[in-house]
Structure 1
Amino acid sequence: MTGYDDRDGKIWLDGALVDWRGAQVHVLSHALHYASSVFEGERAYGGRIFASRAHSERLIASGTAIDMPIPWSVDQIEAAKAEVMAANGLSDAYVRAFAWRGAGEDMGVSSARNPVRLAVAAWEWGAYYGDSKTKGAALDISQWKRPSPETIPSHAKAAGLYMICTMSKHAAEAKGFADAMMFDYRGYVAEATGANIFFVKDGEVHTPLPDCFLNGITRQTVIGLLRERNIPVHERHIGPEELEGFQQCWLTGTAAEVTPVGHIGDYAFEVGALTREIAEAYETLVRA
């Protein structure tokens, strides 16, 4: 696999399709220095992007949350995604829509006079956690915590929120883990570095309350699948002392889809029947 900057294909950039290798930005783009950027990760199945409009709506909402109004409508973003898929001849793909403050008159913390740019790219991408969908992913426990919503708009899918996620995942991979679980600023279980987390105990599901991290679209979809099956779902604060009492665990996210977890640190979980059922139900739904 070549680097992401050296591929054939087309990327939608600021209203037009450009050659993949020609989708360039200036080194003095504000986002490169101050993380003034928001993004969406989406998957297409059989030519249809799952929950596409919800992702486009969230992209615009994220821009608003970090005081970066995106000058494209939901309909225009939807059209751009369709154009990229067609131009690259893709059916099953990962789609990345993202907006950022570009280079302009401002080059300090303030960036109000700099243009907001938008791009959409798509490529083929397999399972995010490799073979973990069958045997269960092994997670480390991160030293970094999700911050208080009083310090940053945690409901936005903003680039700056992912710096500690990258650091946590690098540390986990260096120790042989697939990912890391993070606690929040209060010490409650929060999420993995790029996926929400669910636990099973005695046939009931428990998942952290998303009051300081992203309430993922896949997370919401899976909760809906569980409730359709009359499986109790408890959205609540989960203390670290509870981890040893859970029997099953899985992660959810656009990239992760539904991925079982086999270990979190020293805690072990079975890849049980409910985990498999929900993973299969999600797969069926997104390909319907």
Structure 2
Amino acid sequence: MTAAYDDRDGKIWMDGELIDWRDAKVHILTHALHYASSVFEGERCYDGKIFKGHEHSLRLIESARLLDMQSPYTAEQIDQAKKEVLEANGFTNAYVRAVMWRGSGLDMGVSAARNPVRMAISAWEWGSYYGDAKWQGAKLDVAKWKRPSPETIPTAAKAAGLYMICTMSKHAAEAKGCSDALFMDWRGYVAEATGANIFFVKDGEVHTPLADAILNGITRQTIIQMLKDKGTPVHERHIKPEELEGFQECFLTGTAAEVTPVGEIGDWRFQVGRTTRDIAEAYEKLVRA
């Protein structure tokens, strides 16, 4: 059995230096623990190189800005820190997690402008996010929660607090034997899975929800460009749930998910077809290029 995440050997980069894994701790009155003032990135390293690592560093800084936090590090410094973490742990293929948060300080209430912004980077070896579903097709539940309006939350930020309904929805899905759950947004349109963007295929053309209320994933953007480069029409638009019955294929994208086919969403069924297989193979080649 894999050791708990707080009880492992290795090094974690924290506030500018590498420290022993088990010493990477924060105080119980850390602001982020009480008020969700935290943003993060998930990245994958393939054969010694983080795929689009700099783009992830830039997004981390932007997510912090959207939560009214100023990053204490530049994107280039974050890039270097990630490299140091991988080298210190001897990883060439790994998942990388960068997190930035408001720590403990002079304030302990909703307002925390005087508290320091802190940062840490860790990495670990991690296989397929969805296990065998990566090849066989994932089974998705339909979440009871909805993605909220961008007038209520900063949807462009990869913020920890926005994942609260994701955790609850994924737990509910797993209890039903599913790998994940699909969200609708507050208007009733198809949105995304708990940690991945979603795509559908119909008659050789690809349809994906417009990123006006969801995180416009870096992998999502990569896949859209790859499809366009292959000459595949891509429609970014609002998708109604009743349209799912007419789609032939479905797949998820994300740093952790990579490209994962979907076989079922509730009562809807999809085939693991050619478009999905082709883009999954092309993505696998790209990240290792």
The TM-score normalised by the length of structure 2 is: 0.99
For structure 2, the residue ranges without an aligned partner over 5 or more in a row are: none
Q: Which amino acid aligns with 2:67?
A: I
> C-alpha separation between the residues in 1 aligned to 2:174 and 2:36?
24
> C-alpha separation between the residues in 1 aligned to 2:200 and 2:87?
39
> C-alpha separation between the residues in 2 aligned to 1:67 and 1:211?
21
The within-5 A match list for 1:81-96 is 81-96=82-97
> C-alpha separation between the residues in 2 aligned to 1:121 and 1:254?
16
> C-alpha separation between the residues in 2 aligned to 1:134 and 1:150?
38
Query: Structure 1 runs of 4+ off > 6 angstroms?
Result: none
Q: Deviations over 1:123-179 (max 9, x none)?
A: 000000000111100000000000000001000000010000001000000111000
Q: Which amino acid aligns with 1:124?
A: E
Q: Which amino acid aligns with 2:259?
A: V
- Give the equivalent residue in structure 1 for 2:16: 15
- Give the equivalent residue in structure 2 for 1:183: 184
Q: 1:31 is paired with a residue of what secondary structure?
A: helix
The within-5 A match list for 1:59-70 is 59-70=60-71
- Give the equivalent residue in structure 1 for 2:222: 221
Q: Which amino acid aligns with 1:43?
A: R
- Give the equivalent residue in structure 2 for 1:256: 257
Q: Which amino acid aligns with 2:191?
A: A
- Give the equivalent residue in structure 1 for 2:99: 98
> C-alpha separation between the residues in 1 aligned to 2:256 and 2:28?
29
Identity fraction in percent:
71
> C-alpha separation between the residues in 2 aligned to 1:17 and 1:229?
43
Structure 1 residue 200 displacement after superposition: 0.2
Q: 1:41 is paired with a residue of what secondary structure?
A: strand
Q: Deviations over 1:10-36 (max 9, x none)?
A: 000000000000000000000000000
> C-alpha separation between the residues in 2 aligned to 1:143 and 1:275?
27
- Give the equivalent residue in structure 2 for 1:3: 4
Q: Which amino acid aligns with 1:106?
A: D
Q: Deviations over 1:83-127 (max 9, x none)?
A: 000000000000000100000011100010100000000000000
- Give the equivalent residue in structure 2 for 1:236: 237
- Give the equivalent residue in structure 1 for 2:160: 159
> C-alpha separation between the residues in 2 aligned to 1:153 and 1:287?
33
1:107 and 2:108 correspond: yes
> C-alpha separation between the residues in 2 aligned to 1:222 and 1:205?
11
RMSD of the alignment, in Å?
0.4
- Give the equivalent residue in structure 2 for 1:46: 47
Query: What is the total number of aligned residue pairs between the two structures?
Result: 288
> C-alpha separation between the residues in 1 aligned to 2:4 and 2:225?
37
Q: Deviations over 1:42-95 (max 9, x none)?
A: 000000000000000000000000101111101110010000000000000000
Q: Which amino acid aligns with 1:182?
A: F
Q: 2:208 is paired with a residue of what secondary structure?
A: strand
> C-alpha separation between the residues in 1 aligned to 2:93 and 2:14?
21
Q: 1:161 is paired with a residue of what secondary structure?
A: helix
Q: Which amino acid aligns with 2:250?
A: C
